[in-house]
Amino acid sequence: MPTSTLRRAAIFGLAAIGLAAGIAAASAQAFPSGRGDGFNERDEVTGYLCVTPGCDVLRMSEAQCLCVKDNPNERRLSKLRLTCSKRESGAWVPCPVRPRFGNGG
C-alpha cells in the first residue's frame, strides 16, 4: 500500500478518535454522572457510571477517563470493546489505564 494511502488512513483514524473524544467530552458536560442531578445510572455490562442516557459513553473514574463503546450493543463483557481517553494539557490522549476487561482501551 502506498505511503500516502497509509498516511491518509492514519490521519483519518486519529480524526475519528478525536471526534469520539470530543463527543464524549460534550456528553460528559451535558450528562454528568453522580453529581446530585438525578442521573446516576451504571452500565449493566461494565458497572461504570454512564455519561449518556444510552450508556454508550462511560466514565472510568479510577483513571479519570471517558470511554466510548466501540460495539455498544454487545452484552457480553468479554467481547465489549472500549476506546478510552482523557484530557491532558488541553488535548485528548489515550488513557494510561486499560479497562478491567476485554482488550479495549
Output the tens digit of pLDDT for each of the chain's 105 residues: 555 555 555 455 544 555 555 555 554 554 444 444 546 789 999 888 999 988 999 998 777 899 999 999 999 998 999 999 999 999 999 987 766 654 444
Question: Which cell numbers in the block locate residue 25?
Answer: 467530552
pLDDT of residue 34: 47
Going from the C-alpha of 31 to that of each of 37, 39, 59, the distances in angstroms are 9, 7, 11
pLDDT of residue 64: 85
Rounded Cα gap, residues 102 and 96, in angstroms:
16
pLDDT of residue 35: 47
In the chain, where the domains are located: 3-94
pLDDT of residue 71: 94
